[in-house]
Amino acid sequence: MTLTVPPPPLAPPPSCSRVGCTYLCFTKGDGTFFAFCGKTCRNANTKTCANPNCKQGVFIDGPPGRRQVHLFCTQNGCASLPRSTNPPSCARENCTRPCVAKSDGQFHAYCGLTCAKAKGIKCAEPTCNRGVFIDGGTGKRMIYAHCSKTGCAKSSNTSTTNCSRVGCTKPRHVNTQAKRHPYCSRECYWDDCNNFTQTKVTELTSNDIDYATVIQGFQTTMPGPEYLVKAVFRLQMPKHIVARHVALKATSQVHRMFHGTKLLCTPNPRNFSEASLCSNVGCGLCGIAREGNKGSCSRFTGRMWCAHESKVSYQYCGATALKAMFMIDIVAPVFGKILIAQNDAEMLPRYLILFDTKTHGSGY
C-alpha cells in the first residue's frame, strides 16, 4: 500500500516591508510572497515626509483598496514640527474631521478639497438652508444633493392626497418615514401606465419613497471622484411600451440595472419635463426617455445592454459636464453583472438621473 505524505503547511505571509505597515504581504501565484502588501506601499516605500528636515516615511491610512498616501509622516503633518494647538475641526458646517496640516505646522481651514469645494452649497430642497451632506472615507468622499444621505432632513410629508390615478379615491401610500408615493398601490401605478400615449416625466424630491432608493443604488457603486446628483425623475413610459414589457414580466425575473447614455442637448435639471425632450438624432437621453431602449439605435451589435453597477454604465455617459443615466428594469432568466436585451420589450426605463462630476481630490 502506498502512503501519501501530505505537503507541508504553507508558511504564513510576512508583514509588509514598508516601515510602519502592519498588513501582510501579497501572495504570488506560486505560493511565495511579494515584499509589500500592495501597490500603494510599494510605490510609497521610498517617499519621505514633506518636511525637508524629517527623514521618516510618509503616512498611509485607509483599508486595502482605498488607501491614502499623505504628504507627511503623520496624518496631521510632520511629527517633528512644533504646534501650539491640536488640529482644529474643518470649517464646513457639520464636518468634524481635522483640518489638513501645512508644511509649516499650521493648518488649512478645511479637512480637504471636498469640503472646501462644498462650502456654501446648500441643500437642494428650496426651503432648507443647510449645507449638503458629505460621507465616505479618505480618498472616496461623496457629495449628496441634500443635507442628509436620504434627502432633506427637515422635510416631511403627511399628505393624504388621493391616489394619482384618475377615478381612484384611495389615499396615496405613505411609509413609516412619512415618505410618499403618488399612487395607493403598485396595481394603480401599472394601471395608470396603460393610459399614457407619451412619456410622463416627474421630478422626485426627498419626500418621495423611490428617491432614496434611486440615489442609494446609483451612488453606492460609483468609485473615485465625487458625483453631484442634480435631479432624479420618475419615468412612466407610453402604454405600447409598458404593455409589451409587463407581458414579459410574468414569464421571467426582473432585475434593476443601469444604462448610461450621451446627451446632444442641454437640459435644465430644475426645469425638465416631457416637453423638454429634444428631437436631435443620436441624443440618447431624449431618445430613450421618449421611445424606450431600442436595439436599432445601439452602437454595440444592435442590442441594448445594461450593468448592475452604475460605475460601469458611467463609462458610456460621454464627455459632457452634465451626464445622464437611466435606472431600468430588464427581464432576464438569471442575474448577471452585465445583461443584454434580446428584444426591446425586455427593457423598461424607470428613472432618469442627471448628474455632474467633481474631479477634485480629497486632500491638499
pLDDT at 110: 85
Question: Does residue 114 form part of some domain?
Answer: no
Residue 21 lies in a domain: no
Tens of pLDDT, residue by residue over 136-174, are: 655 567 777 777 765 666 654 434 478 888 888 888 887
| Closest among 274, 241, 254, 266 to 335, alpha carbons compared | 254
- Give the Cα separation of 137 and 281 in Å (integer): 42
Average pLDDT over residues 174-193: 81
**Distance (Å, whole) CA 217 – CA 313:** 13
Question: What's the average model confidence in pLDDT over 23-37?
Answer: 83
Residue 110 lies in a domain: no
The pLDDT of residue 128 is 75
Say if residue 332's pLDDT is above 70.
yes
The mean pLDDT value for 111-119 works out to 81
Distances (CA, A) of 323 to 249, 276, 311: 29, 16, 13
Residue 122 has pLDDT above 70, yes or no: yes
Predicted confidence at residue 359, as pLDDT, reads 44
Residue 321 lies in a domain: yes
> Residues 221-240: what's their mean pLDDT?
83
Least confident of 45-54, 125-134, 244-253: 125-134
pLDDT of residue 157: 42
Residues 327, 345: Cα–Cα separation, whole Å: 15
Residue 99 CB coordination number (10 Å)? 21
Average pLDDT of 316-320?
88
Question: What pLDDT shows up at residue 156?
Answer: 46
Residue 145 is assigned to a structural domain of this protein: no
Q: Tell me which of 171-185, 192-206, 227-241, 285-299 is least confident.
A: 171-185
Cα separation values, 57 from 49, 54, 69, 73, Å? 6, 9, 10, 6
Q: Check pLDDT > 50 for residue 363.
A: no
For residue 42, being part of any structural domain is answered with: no
pLDDT higher for 174 or 15?
A: 15
Q: Which of 233, 234, 242 is nearest to 197 (CA)?
A: 242
C-alpha 355/C-alpha 186 separation (Å) is: 28
On the CB side of 180, CA atoms within 13 Å amount to 18
Q: Could you report the per-residue pLDDT of 255-310, keeping only the tens digit for each?
A: 999 999 999 998 888 888 888 899 888 899 999 999 998 888 877 777 888 999 99
Q: How many domains does the chain have?
A: 1
Q: What percent of the chain has a predicted confidence (pLDDT) above 70? A: 83
Quick check: 16 pLDDT over 50? yes
* Distance in angstroms (rounded) separating the CA atoms of residues 288 and 283: 8
pLDDT at residue 3 greater than cutoff 80: no
- In this prediction, residues 14-34 reach a mean pLDDT of 83
SS3 category, 123: coil
Give the residue numbers spanning the domain of 311.
Answer: 194-358
pLDDT tens digits for range 62-107: 766 677 788 788 877 777 776 545 678 888 877 878 888 776 667 8
Residue 59 lies in a domain: no
Please state, in angstroms and rounded to a whole number, the distance separating the CA atoms of residues 138 and 114. Answer: 10
Confidence at residue 360, expressed as pLDDT on a 0 to 100 scale: 33
Residue 228 forms part of a structural domain: yes
The CATH number of whichever domain residue 281 belongs to comes to 3.90.228.10
- State the average pLDDT for the chain: 81
Collect all residues with Cβ–Cβ distance below 8 Å to 19 and sequence separation of at least 6.
57
pLDDT reported for residue 159: 42
